[in-house]
Structure 1
Amino acid sequence: MDFCPESLHYELLAEVGEGSFGKVYKAREVGEKQRLLAVKKFNFRWESEEAGIPPFMIREVALLRKVGYFNHPNIVKLLDASAVSIGSALDLTLVLEYIDQDLSTFLSKAPACGLGRDLIKDVMQQLLRGLDFLHTNLVLHRDLKPENILVSSRGEIKIADFGLARIHTYNIALTPGVSVVTLWYRAPEVLLNSVYMSSVDMWSAGCIFAELFLLRPLFKGYTEVQQLQKIFEVIGLPSEDDWPQESPILYSESLGPRGSCTNLLPNLDQDENDLLSVSTVLLLLSCQK
């Protein structure tokens, strides 16, 4: 099966994923390079002529093109994008560089004894370099999680999936409008429906850092209230005066203790502990048992 946009020719090899709007394929470039590619095919149908491509898809393509000019090694590259309109349907195709697996799959294959310290350091260095690049260019990812971090066979880390990302302005916080960040990696200010900035990505990065040690999510709630409870069990409940007035979740002392736990993850050195503190996540293993 072949698909040939004007600038890039390839053949589809296998379907590797399926989402709400379309499918993802592994493909191979036709010609001299023979590169492996990831091809996302989306099909949108609408009843009125005023409808069009969903905003999240427009954002993803626009942001990938914006950051693509810099060719950063820790951001997935968009190689081509094309759209074909047929009546009330629109077929949109994105062609990206192919990466073997995501971080979630990578962690599922880790040995029971855990990842080595040097490997964890390398993963986090690459992740934070990519995040620093995005924030320097005023891009908030807003959905950082292991499934959206790709790991190549050569150990390259690349941030992917910019469907919830957006541009922001210095010193202007964003207000919750859509549900951003997958629940287990969602910062307290988002859970509390408060204003937020790039710190939401740093919180997610801190949760991922913990997961590299634990081989499981640090905060694993199934409702927003339960997620807050698990977080406050670790970092301590803020005072009622610090609670955002606009939050739909009412302040309650049952959400967590006033003080934080004191037993850190075993074998953390000072630099690792400092990094977790900067990420506003305290890795306190005893509170998670």
Structure 2
Amino acid sequence: MDNNVCGRSDYEYLAEIGEGAYGKVYKAREIGVKQRLVALKKLNLPGDPETGIPPFMIREVALLRKIEYFNHPNIVKLLDVSACIRNQSLDLTLVFEYIDQDLTTFMSCAGNGLSLEKIKDVMQQLLKGLDFLHSNMLVHRDLKPDNILIGSRGEVKIADFGLARIYTYQIALTPCVVTLWYRAPEVLLQSGYMSSVDIWSAGCIFAELFLLRPLFRAFTEAQQLKKIFELIGLPSEEDWPKESPVRYSPAWGPTGVERPGTQLLSGLGMQGNSLLLECLTFKPSNRISASQALAHPFLAEA
């Protein structure tokens, strides 16, 4: 990592393409022989630069460095990292390969909807990326269409590892992770969780690819839980996490645990609904894994 006072830039800034809590993302072009397009994630940290880079940013860079060695086709590539001091604040720049659009934009251009073959293709690539992360003991924790990129040749890449963590079995992690609409029940119920939170998010994205709208769209955690239980049914009290501060109540939704063969989305077909149901299973230990999902008949025959 280059750590110095800011000097000349090696990139020509072309356009701002995103903004977050700590900085902005730009489309840029390398200056020099290659002139390849890149995405610059520029993070500005006001305050005393001597305090250093915040832990969450160090974590993101360290995780990206760890996984870039494997060069997985479904994980966005980190090309360079630089840090410098500007006007008594710390500037951290992450340089990524440039991908044309995210999944949100891709779906907004779908018009009359996506073909079943395209949905299968996107899900296969997404699950291959997740299988790679989970095999390396990484959980993304913020999987949503905005964080999934699609290139001009249809390549799908998982991006934005700001909330990613290395996990051990049932590790207690911070509850304020994953955008609300894609948040697993165990996160909403503030109980321990593991890599299966990413599978729940992938299930929500799977349904959204078919519907072209979010499957569970609420504005509070309580609303989100009710919407989930309206679709998959209220789990048994035995399956409710014991450590959750949220009490079990029949008022949460219709009784009856999910049943195999239930048609969550009419028109998706029996196999598609079967996979969706296994992704959106309430009990994390019963939820399908990424490798199992790739072997599911709905995707295996794609």
> How far off its partner does 1:33 sit?
2.1
2:76 aligned residue: 76
2:287 aligned residue: none
1:231 aligned residue: 228
1:255 aligned residue: 252
The correspondence for 1:204, drawn from 201, 220, 227, is 201
For 1:222 and 1:190, the matched residues in 2 are separated by 15
2:219 aligned residue: 222
> How far off its partner does 1:48 sit?
8.4
The aligned runs of 1:150-169 (5 Å cut-off) are: 150-169=149-168
For 1:174 and 1:159, the matched residues in 2 are separated by 23
> How far off its partner does 1:224 sit?
0.6
Shift in alpha-carbon separation, 1:278–1:243, aligned structure 2, 3 A: closer
> How far off its partner does 1:75 sit?
0.3
For 1:79 and 1:238, the matched residues in 2 are separated by 45
2:299 aligned residue: none
For 1:263 and 1:129, the matched residues in 2 are separated by 25
Listed one character per residue, the Cα deviations across residues 53-111 of structure 1 (whole Å, up to 9, x for unaligned) are: 22221111111111100111100000000111357411111110011111011111111
For 1:96 and 1:133, the matched residues in 2 are separated by 19
2:294 aligned residue: none
1:44 aligned residue: 45
Shift in alpha-carbon separation, 1:87–1:108, aligned structure 2, 3 A: closer
| Aligned partner of residue 26 in structure 2, secondary structure | strand
> How far off its partner does 1:178 sit?
4.5
| Aligned partner of residue 123 in structure 1, secondary structure | helix
Listed one character per residue, the Cα deviations across residues 19-55 of structure 1 (whole Å, up to 9, x for unaligned) are: 2211211111122322110011111122585x33222
The correspondence for 1:181, drawn from 178, 182, 198, is 178
> How far off its partner does 1:196 sit?
0.8
Structure 1 residue 137 corresponds to structure 2 residue 109:
no
> How far off its partner does 1:114 sit?
1.2
For 2:277 and 2:268, the matched residues in 1 are separated by 12
1:25 aligned residue: 26
1:287 aligned residue: none
2:98 aligned residue: 98
1:122 aligned residue: 121
Q: What is the TM-score normalised by the length of structure 1?
A: 0.88
2:15 aligned residue: 14
Listed one character per residue, the Cα deviations across residues 133-155 of structure 1 (whole Å, up to 9, x for unaligned) are: 10111110000000000011111
For 2:171 and 2:26, the matched residues in 1 are separated by 34
> Gaps spanning 5+ residues in structure 2: where?
1-5, 283-302
Q: Which amino acid aligns with 1:71?
A: N
| Aligned partner of residue 224 in structure 2, secondary structure | helix
> Gaps spanning 5+ residues in structure 1: where?
283-289
| Aligned partner of residue 115 in structure 1, secondary structure | coil
Q: Which amino acid aligns with 1:199?
A: S
Shift in alpha-carbon separation, 1:281–1:211, aligned structure 2, 3 A: farther
> How far off its partner does 1:240 sit?
2.7
Q: Which amino acid aligns with 2:181?
A: W
Q: What is the TM-score normalised by the length of structure 2?
A: 0.85
| Aligned partner of residue 244 in structure 1, secondary structure | coil
Listed one character per residue, the Cα deviations across residues 139-196 of structure 1 (whole Å, up to 9, x for unaligned) are: 1000000000001111110000000001123xx2121324111110000011111111
For 1:214 and 1:241, the matched residues in 2 are separated by 32
Q: Percent of counterpart pairs with the same letter?
A: 67
**Contact 1:11–1:27 under 8 Å retained in 2:** yes
Listed one character per residue, the Cα deviations across residues 245-271 of structure 1 (whole Å, up to 9, x for unaligned) are: 332322221110112595442233343
Q: How many residues align?
A: 274
C-alpha RMSD of matched pairs (Å): 2.1
Larger CA deviation: 74-83 vs 51-60 = 51-60
Shift in alpha-carbon separation, 1:263–1:146, aligned structure 2, 3 A: same
| Aligned partner of residue 204 in structure 1, secondary structure | helix
| Aligned partner of residue 142 in structure 2, secondary structure | coil
| Aligned partner of residue 201 in structure 1, secondary structure | helix
1:56 aligned residue: 56
| Aligned partner of residue 39 in structure 2, secondary structure | strand
